[in-house]
């Protein structure tokens, strides 16, 4: 029987005993490729140092063979050590079954394999006295792994899980924190700004127990296409563009045996096959920044957003506004405040014309709630530059107070708070503060055809599309200037979902996208906008219940028309 003791040379055991299905649909002995060897060496470094194995592997879509490697490591541990429990979890049942199928193939082609109590599409359990087992789950089961102890955990395609933050939070405590345990997350990037992207950044910053491992496309052995004779090589090298020259230097810095020009020739051939350089960057990233920038199907022009991201810079002011009443009247002043949510890139200019868009959060639950924070953008209507933002968890009524101060500071700007849900509370507080330059939308009653005005911007199935389309056009045409990297990041993470809708990726946020889009729409309104003649004066009574009823009727009407 193969393997009865703790394996000292894991790679030798794997290559001596395990078989895989090749790209040509043939059963062949498993021979580790360079990316697999690189990751296995990092795993063995933890074993030798008596550390728990905790890895996050960010891989290209092809060529790395990471799923097979991780299954082989888990299988070796389960097969050669008694009383172990391993769990494989992926985003879908077919994917989870595929991963377990790799291990079942390992078992079926061993010489004289251990007896099993049973083997199914969901589990392999070895007979006593060995008594080790390997099971699969899908990410749709929120209780996966929570009810028993696991020694080895393989999480595949984490960002594609329905709720990666909650499920991973349930599963990690099931793996004891001692050296003879293993947790490996292997995945491709799905979207900028999603939960996995933040986990990756936190891991790179040393803020988690995991080690971040990125595998660029060019470390794989099969990424070369011959160029030809000497003259062809010289012409090829002379024709490299700036990006290719930078890539050539990056490739050569790794000291690989492959010819860097032939690897760039493979890249060109693959770009032709895939149809675009952006698709190549998505499937075969060269670095982990590019990996997320091109991941997913973004609603906005990714090339323009990358250009905008490169120009981003910290705000010149960070703090808040303070309102004072003096004999001369109302005075709004900026103050440097610890933890202030107001970021300013450009202070109000005399004679400047400004618009403000606001997306209201549901309160102050905080980041752990998973709710979007409140978000506010101020745009200079002449230059189309984002000059200030507010971002954070703020009670809706307090946000109304802040919007009044911000509007007064920016030369009595046109303020458009979103009227959905808690936005009505913000609208009420904004009016109660005495601010009058508020956007009122025009609507038509479906029954009477009477045109009326309602306070605030309503995001509905009917208005959301044109709102986002307008922002997309401004970004594509290079009209909008935004130096806030957080805003650009959320735009990059605003991606197409399976239902066809564009919104934040799993675990991400799109509150900044909404407030920016509202402010961008107000640019078209500000020159011709007139407040309704029946707008309530300062201190007037607001029938809040009637506002809610109107909003519900308007939402129903919008859904019927959409």
Q: For 10-19, how does the pLDDT look when each residue is reduced to its tens digit (9 = 90+)?
A: 999 999 999 9
The superfamily CATH assigns to domain 10-215 is P-loop containing nucleotide triphosphate hydrolases (3.40.50.300)
pLDDT digits (tens, 9 = 90+) for 131-167: 999 988 888 776 665 667 899 999 999 998 988 998 8
Rounded Cα distance, 168 and 174, in Å: 10
Mean pLDDT of 479-498: 91
pLDDT score for 142: 63
The pLDDT value given to residue 548: 52
**pLDDT (0 to 100) of residue 328:** 80
What is the structure's pLDDT at 546?
A: 54
Residue with more model confidence, 32 or 325: 32
Lowest-pLDDT choice from 34-43, 75-84, 137-146, 302-311? 137-146
Looking at residue 533, its pLDDT comes to 63
346 pLDDT exceeds 90?
yes
Name which of 10-19, 82-91, 113-122, 155-164 the model is least confident about.
113-122
Residue 42 has pLDDT above 50, yes or no: yes
CA–CA gap between residue 267 and residue 492 (Å, rounded): 25
Backbone angles phi, psi at 94, to 5 degrees: -60, -40
CB atoms within 10 A of CB 182: 24
d(C-alpha 432, C-alpha 417), whole Å: 14
Decide if 10-215 and 317-533 have a common fold.
no
Instruction: Yes or no: say if 164 and 126 are a contact pair by the CB < 8 Å rule.
Output: no
For residue 362, the model assigns a pLDDT of: 63
pLDDT value, residue 5: 43
Would you state the pLDDT for residue 556? 54
pLDDT of 561 over the 70 cut: no
pLDDT of residue 148: 77
The residue among 63 and 264 whose pLDDT is bigger is: 264
| Joined tokens for residue 274 | 């895939």
Per-residue DSSP letter, 115: P
User: Using one digit for the tens of pLDDT, what is the confidence trace for 347-366?
Assistant: 999 999 999 999 997 654 54
pLDDT at 129 over 90: yes
More confident residue, 92 or 76: 76
pLDDT in tens, 195-211: 999 999 999 999 999 99
Q: Rounded CA gap, 360 and 366, in Å?
A: 14
**CATH number 3.30.420.240 given to 317-533:** yes
Which pTM value belongs to this model? 0.76
Number of DSSP helices (H) and strands (E) in the chain, helices first:
18, 21
Helix (H) or strand (E) holding 561: helix 544-561
Sequence spans of domains, the chain: 10-215, 219-296, 317-533
Residue 335's contacts (CB-CB under 8 Å, 6 or more residues apart) are: 319, 320, 321, 322
């Amino acid at each position: 029987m193969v393997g009865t003791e703790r394996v000292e040379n894991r790679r030798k055991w794997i290559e001596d005993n395990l078989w895989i299905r090749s790209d040509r649909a043939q059963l062949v002995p498993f021979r580790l490729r360079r990316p697999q060897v690189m990751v296995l060496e990092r795993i063995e470094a933890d074993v030798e140092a008596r550390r728990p194995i905790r890895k996050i592997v960010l891989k290209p879509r092809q060529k790395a063979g990471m799923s097979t490697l991780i299954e082989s490591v888990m299988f070796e541990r389960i097969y050669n050590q008694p009383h172990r429990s391993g769990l494989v979890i992926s985003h879908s049942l077919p994917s989870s079954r595929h991963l377990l199928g790799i291990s079942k193939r390992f078992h079926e082609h061993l010489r004289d394999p251990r007896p099993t109590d049973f083997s199914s599409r969901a589990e392999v359990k070895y007979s006593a006295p060995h008594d080790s087992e390997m099971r699969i789950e899908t990410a749709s089961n929120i209780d996966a792994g929570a009810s028993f102890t696991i020694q080895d955990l393989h999480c595949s395609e984490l960002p594609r899980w329905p709720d990666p933050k909650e499920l991973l939070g349930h599963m990690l405590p099931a793996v004891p924190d001692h050296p003879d345990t293993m947790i490996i997350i292997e995945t491709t990037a799905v979207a900028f700004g999603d939960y996995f992207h933040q986990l990756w950044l936190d891991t790179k910053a040393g803020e988690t127990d995991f080690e971040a491992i990125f595998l660029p496309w060019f470390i794989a052995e099969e990424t070369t296409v011959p160029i030809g004779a000497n003259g062809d090589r010289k012409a090829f090298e002379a024709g490299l563009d700036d990006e290719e020259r930078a890539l050539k230097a990056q490739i050569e810095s790794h000291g690989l045996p492959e010819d860097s020009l032939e690897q760039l020739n493979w890249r060109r051939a693959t770009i032709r096959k895939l149809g675009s350089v952006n698709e190549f960057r998505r499937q075969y990233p060269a670095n982990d920044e590019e990996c997320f920038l091109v991941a997913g199907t973004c609603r906005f022009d990714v090339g323009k957003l990358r250009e905008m991201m490169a120009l981003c810079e910290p705000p010149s002011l960070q703090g808040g506004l303070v309102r004072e009443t003096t004999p001369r009247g109302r005075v709004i002043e900026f103050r440097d405040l610890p933890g202030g949510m107001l970021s300013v890139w450009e202070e109000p200019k005399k004679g400047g014309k400004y618009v403000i868009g606001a997306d209201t959060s549901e309160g102050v639950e905080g980041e752990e709630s998973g709710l979007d924070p409140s978000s506010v953008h101020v745009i200079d209507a002449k230059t189309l530059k984002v000059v200030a933002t507010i971002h954070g968890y703020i009670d809706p009524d307090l946000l109304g107070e802040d919007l009044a101060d911000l509007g007064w500071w920016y030369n009595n700007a046109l303020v458009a708070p979103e009227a959905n849900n808690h936005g009505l509370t913000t609208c009420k507080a904004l009016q109660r503060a005495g601010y009058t330059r508020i956007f009122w939308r025009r609507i038509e009653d479906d029954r009477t055809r009477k045109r009326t005005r309602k306070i605030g911007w309503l995001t509905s199935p009917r208005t959301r599309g044109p709102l986002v389309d307008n922002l997309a056009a401004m970004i594509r045409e290079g009209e909008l200037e935004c130096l806030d990297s957080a805003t650009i990041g959320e735009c990059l993470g605003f991606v197409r979902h399976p239902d066809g809708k564009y919104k934040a990726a799993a675990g991400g946020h799109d509150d900044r996208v909404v407030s920016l889009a509202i402010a961008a729409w107000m640019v078209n309104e500000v020159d011709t906008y007139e407040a309704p003649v029946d707008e309530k004066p300062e201190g007037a009574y607001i029938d809040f219940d009637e506002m809610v009823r109107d909003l519900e009727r308007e939402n129903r009407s919008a859904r019927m028309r959409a």
